[in-house]
Structure formats: structure tokens, C-alpha cells
């Protein structure tokens, strides 16, 4: 097996401890990779000095590859559409469903690779994707094959919509599918693509889209199917106030009660957003170890609100980060997503009422939100969510931190760049989140260098972008 040595790194943040404040941060250290796994990690003068390939990391921060727990990659074709730039979730969806009805297999393949290229350039090595619309012969296989070509580790979720507007759902009838076909195709995909081995490059999950686009029967049957194959479950939940109102009007319950009734709580389930998760919901999620994909940029872009992430973490809810679709975030930069999660948590806490607490002097004091906000989220906590937390949410014990035997998924950031000036000299890890969000200098997936010196190594990016832009225009001109 070939070997790769990442040599003399300024700092390696391993996140090898479940407590982000206790994880090892090694200075002047190296990582030796053999094949697809980490063989050794430690002081540079102790590890070997040569390998089949060597990356000089003397000016770099090395972290575990970032893990993206929620995305809609085809939406890269519909970024910044003027008609929905100022819409909330339901209006935004109503404006975009007719456009997405024109998707083709080529559009799915090209947009998936564009989204993955963007993620890889930001140091992301594993991503899930929630494809829930299948017009014109589109199949989830198109996304999986695109991922294999670019080399990214992929959790492909077979999304679905089965309740159209004529039945009280949100999507137009022409973009929904028959439930029997959805279940049959989902079974086919699991049997064809899902890999349970250590270091698997493709996992498949079962992912009916949302309470307002599928039936309760499909939710129940999807859960049964997933558990019969031992695969994970994913959907959207409690994203904004209209989402809450729909659940109350249609099902006479909260989104969490809806999920509980249908068997959609458990350690094999993760829900996207959960912005409006109440205290009862947080307790149920924590007790069942149900995961959450936190998507701060999308939640801000659509004015959905501020998810109670600190409450979730304190209660023991598994939380990872997601960039969400590139038409509700308009970016797929995982470091920036982590930075926004940090800032949003702090400003969210600052907006809450004052609290009376015991001060360090032993006296009761009134603390304003601005006093308590900075401690709501630290740089290391949010980077933990973006790595180890995301791995936990996706059910992967072989990624998310750096240790011997783990998958060789790493991201390297050049600390001798303008954005880090005056920051990395004090704290490289803190600077990654607090300074301007950088692109990765190197991104390694499964022991393979996919981004080298800031350039994608597996595909020629220029022609891919050109074709993507042509397809984006072609898609929108059909409907606008």
C-alpha cells in the first residue's frame, strides 16, 4: 500500500476526545497514512521522515475532514434566483418547485460535482445529500456516480415527495411520486449501493422529504424499510413557524410528537434544522439519541429563526452541521458554516432576557444577554460539531477525528496567509473560526489528495463550471 506523510505541521487538532475542550492539539507534529487509514500520528521527530508522497505542512493547521450532514446539491443550479431571494421557506419552495421539475440526469451529475468541489475546497471530506425530486429520468444513482468520479465520501439519502397540492401538500402534483415506487426504488438503492464496511465511501439513507410533502403511511413504511436493512433515516423537521402551524393543523401535534408517533426518533435518525424544537422535543431527542443537522446560514437566509443548539448540546442531543441547499444558503463552505454557527449561537443568547446568577464573588448578580452570549459557543465546540459531531449524526465511527486506524480524511489550512495574519500566531484553531473563512490548501479523502495547493486534483474545474452555468440557464429559462 502507498504511504502519505503530512510532515511537520504547525498544529494538528485531533478531536480525539469526546470532550472538545480536552482533545489533543499537537505542535510540530506529523501524520503518517498508509493506504486508506492513519497509521501513526505524533511528534514530527519521532515519526518517519519519508513516505511515497510527502506534504510539507510546516505552516499549516491540520484538522479532521469536515462532515456535512445536510445538503441539496442540485440546488447549486438555482442560487440567487431573484424571485425567491426575499422569501421564507414555504414561499421559497413554491417558487422553486416548478424550476426543479425541469431537472435532468446530467444536471444532477454536474451540480453534484460542483457542490462537492465547493465542499472539498473548504476542507469537507464527507457529505450527505438529500435529493427528493426525480423528474425526467433522474435517479439517485446519478448523484452517487458523480461522487465516485470526484472522490468524496458520500451519504446519499433517497428523498421523496408523495403528497401534492391536491391532497393538501405543498409541492405541485407533477413532482410527487407513487409511494409504492418510492419504497421499491429505495430498497433497490440500498441493495445496490449501501456499504457497511469500515471506510465505506457510499452509504444510503432513507429520507422522505418533510411532513408537508409525504404521507404518514410513507413515513412509517420508510422507517420499517430502513430498519430492516440497518440504514439511517433522515427528514426535515420543525424548520420554521409555518412548519409548526402545518403540523398542528394537519396532524394536531407538534413536529416532535409527529416524529415520535411515526417511529422517527432514535439513534438511527437525524433531522434537519429543528429550529423550532421545544423543550419537550429536546428532551425526547436527547433520550432517544436522535440527531440534528444544524444549518445556520440557511436558517438566517430564510429567516427561519435561531435553533436552540446550546440547549440541545447540554441535554445530550447529537448535533452536526449542514450547509443545506445551495439555493437557501447559496454557498457550501463548511468552515464558514461553522463560523456562522458560532456567531449565531452567541447573538441568539444575547437576545434572551437577563438572568440572575451567582457571580464569581459568591453574590447574586444580574447578567445580561451580552454577558452570557460569548460563552454560548466556543471555536473548539463548533469545530467539534463540524467534525466529530457530524460523524456521530451520520452514524460513522471511522471518521470525524484523527487517531490510528481512523479513515485518512484530513484538511490542511495554510496559516501563512492574509486572513490568518495576527491570529494564527496566537491560536491556530481559534483563528480558523474567528478570522475570515479560508479555503483548504489540501483536502485528503480516504488517503487520496483531492485538493492540492488549493486546486481540485480529480476533475478539471473550469469546464465543469462552464457546463454548470449553461445548465443553470437552461433550467431556469424553461420556467421563468
In terms of domains, do 97 and 49 share one? no
Tell me, yes or no, whether 296 and 274 share the same domain: yes
In this structure, are 73 and 55 located in the same domain?
A: no
- Are 220 and 154 within one domain? yes
Q: How buried is residue 408: exposed, middle or buried, by Cβ count under 10 Å (0-12/13-18/19+)?
A: buried
Residues 116 and 215 in one domain: yes
117 and 20 belong to one structural domain: no
The C-alpha cell that represents 343 in the structure block: 456567531
Domain end, chosen from 306, 333, 360, is at 333
Domain CATH for 422:
2.30.40.10
Same domain, 54 and 160: no
Q: What is the pLDDT of residues 172-226, one digit of tens each?
A: 999 999 999 999 999 999 999 999 999 999 999 999 999 999 999 999 999 999 9
Does the structure show a pLDDT above 90 at 362? no
Domain end: 314, 333, 352, which one? Answer: 333
Q: What value does the mean pLDDT take over residues 46-66?
A: 97
For residues 317 and 439, membership in a common domain is answered with: no
> pLDDT digits over 117-151, tens only?
999 999 999 999 999 999 999 999 999 999 999 99
| Alpha-carbon span 116 to 95, nearest angstrom | 25
Picking from 333, 354, 381, the residue at the C-terminal end of a domain is 333
pLDDT at residue 363, as a whole number: 87
Do 60 and 112 reside in the same domain of the chain? no
Instruction: Report the pLDDT value the prediction gives residue 388, as an integer from 0 to 100.
Output: 98
210 and 93 co-located in one domain: yes
Which one-letter DSSP state was computed for residue 104?
Answer: -
What are 419's three cell numbers?
486572513
Average pLDDT, the chain: 96
191 falls within a domain: yes
Give the domain range for residue 52: 3-64+400-456
Segment 465-472 long-range contacts (CB within 8 Å, at least 24 positions apart): 465/114, 467/110, 468/76, 468/77, 468/110, 468/111, 468/114, 471/77, 471/106, 471/107, 471/110, 471/111, 472/76, 472/77, 472/78, 472/79
- pLDDT of 338 reads 98
Asked if 185 and 102 sit in the same domain, the reply is: yes
Burial (Cβ within 10 Å: 0-12, 13-18, ≥19) of residue 397: exposed
Please say if the pLDDT value at position 480 is more than 90. no
Q: Is residue 432 part of a domain?
A: yes
- The reply to whether 10 falls in a domain is yes
Please report whether residue 341 resides in a domain: no
State the pLDDT at residue 359: 79
In a domain, 472, yes or no: no
pLDDT tens digits for range 259-270: 999 999 999 999
Q: What CATH code is carried by the domain that includes residue 306?
A: 3.20.20.140
Q: What is the pLDDT of residue 357?
A: 85
The pLDDT of residue 479 is 55
Specify the number of domains making up the chain.
Answer: 2
CB 169 within 8 A of CB 163: yes
Q: Is residue 119 part of a domain?
A: yes
Instruction: Report the percentage of the chain scoring pLDDT > 90.
Output: 95
Residue 37 in any domain: the answer is yes
Q: Are residues 426 and 450 in the same domain?
A: yes
* C-beta separation of 383 from 63 below 8 A: yes
Amino acid at each position: 500500500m502507498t504511504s502519505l506523510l503530512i510532515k511537520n505541521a504547525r498544529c494538528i487538532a485531533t478531536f480525539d476526545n469526546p470532550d472538545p475542550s480536552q482533545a489533543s492539539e499537537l505542535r510540530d507534529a506529523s501524520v503518517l497514512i498508509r493506504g486508506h487509514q492513519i497509521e501513526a500520528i505524533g511528534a514530527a521527530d519521532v515519526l518517519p521522515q519519508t513516505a511515497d508522497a510527502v506534504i510539507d505542512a510546516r505552516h499549516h493547521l491540520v484538522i479532521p475532514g469536515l462532515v456535512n450532514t445536510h445538503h441539496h446539491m442540485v440546488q447549486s443550479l438555482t442560487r440567487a434566483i431573484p424571485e425567491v431571494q426575499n422569501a421564507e421557506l414555504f414561499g421559497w419552495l413554491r417558487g422553486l418547485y416548478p424550476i426543479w421539475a425541469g431537472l435532468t440526469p446530467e444536471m444532477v451529475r454536474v451540480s453534484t460535482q460542483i457542490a462537492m468541489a465547493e465542499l472539498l475546497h473548504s476542507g469537507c471530506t464527507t457529505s450527505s445529500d438529500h435529493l427528493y425530486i426525480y423528474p425526467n429520468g433522474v435517479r439517485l444513482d446519478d448523484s452517487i456516480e458523480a461522487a465516485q468520479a470526484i472522490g468524496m465520501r458520500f451519504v446519499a439519502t433517497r428523498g421523496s415527495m408523495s403528497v401534492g397540492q391536491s391532497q393538501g401538500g405543498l409541492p405541485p402534483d407533477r413532482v410527487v411520486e407513487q409511494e409504492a415506487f418510492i419504497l421499491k426504488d429505495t430498497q433497490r438503492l440500498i441493495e445496490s449501493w449501501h456499504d457497511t464496511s469500515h471506510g465505506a465511501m457510499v452509504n444510503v439513507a432513507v429520507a422522505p422529504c418533510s411532513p408537508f410533502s409525504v404521507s404518514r403511511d410513507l413515513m412509517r413504511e420508510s422507517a420499517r424499510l430502513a430498519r430492516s436493512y440497518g440504514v439511517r433515516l433522515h427528514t426535515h423537521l420543525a424548520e420554521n413557524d409555518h412548519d409548526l402551524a402545518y403540523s398542528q393543523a394537519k396532524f394536531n401535534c407538534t413536529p416532535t410528537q409527529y416524529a415520535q408517533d411515526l417511529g422517527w426518533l432514535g439513534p438511527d435518525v437525524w433531522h434537519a434544522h429543528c429550529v423550532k424544537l421545544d423543550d419537550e422535543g429536546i428532551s425526547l431527542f436527547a433520550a432517544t439519541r436522535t440527531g440534528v443537522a444544524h444549518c445556520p446560514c440557511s436558517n438566517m437566509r430564510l429567516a427561519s429563526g435561531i435553533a436552540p443548539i446550546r440547549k440541545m448540546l447540554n441535554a445530550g442531543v447529537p448535533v452536526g452541521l449542514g450547509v443545506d441547499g445551495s439555493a437557501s444558503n447559496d454557498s457550501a463552505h463548511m468552515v464558514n458554516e461553522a463560523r456562522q454557527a458560532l456567531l449565531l449561537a452567541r447573538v441568539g443568547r444575547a437576545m434572551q432576557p437577563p438572568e440572575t446568577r451567582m457571580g464569581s464573588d459568591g453574590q447574586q448578580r444580574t447578567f445580561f444577554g451580552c454577558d452570557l452570549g460569548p460563552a454560548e459557543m466556543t471555536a473548539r465546540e463548533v469545530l467539534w460539531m463540524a467534525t466529530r459531531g457530524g460523524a456521530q449524526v451520520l452514524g460513522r465511527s471511522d471518521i470525524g477525528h484523527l487517531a490510528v486506524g481512523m479513515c485518512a480524511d484530513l484538511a490542511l489550512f495554510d496559516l501563512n496567509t492574509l486572513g490568518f495574519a495576527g491570529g494564527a500566531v496566537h491560536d491556530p484553531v481559534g483563528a480558523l473560526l474567528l478570522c475570515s473563512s479560508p479555503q483548504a490548501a489540501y483536502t485528503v479523502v480516504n488517503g487520496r489528495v483531492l485538493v492540492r495547493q488549493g486546486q481540485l486534483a480529480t476533475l478539471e474545474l473550469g469546464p465543469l463550471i462552464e457546463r454548470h452555468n449553461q445548465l443553470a440557464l437552461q433550467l431556469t429559462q424553461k420556467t421563468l
